[in-house]
Amino acid sequence: MLIPFLVAKIHRATVTGSDINYEGSIAIDEEIMEKANLRVFQQVDVYNVNNGARFSTYVLPWPRASRGIVVNGAAARLVQPGDTIIIAAFALIAEKELDSLNAVIINMAAGNEIEKITHTKL
């Protein structure tokens, strides 16, 4: 049996831009993507702390060290630059694999600087 588990979370990132005319996605600074073990086109859920909006989309890279978090396409209507969001990635994991895997939680500080990275056993 496969069970959905959180495998990555970027906690309290700040939206730096939005583009309703771009194909749907969330663009994330490549360095932040790598530290969160996120891949291009990976599905993520996004939770807007400011207004309660929740949506699913996929990840695209944004220039490294830019600290950019940009929401594109229809989801751009659900955020404003400056909003605080949580980005969560889940995976279907076989029960026998759970003891060998970790989730990565990245806590963000002002300016989308990485404040803390925690690796937690599933």
Catalytic residue numbers read 25, 58
SS3 of residue 49 by DSSP? coil
| Strand arrangement, sheet containing 84-94 | 17-19, 69-72, 25-29, 54-62, 43-48, 84-94, 2-14, 102-109, 113-121
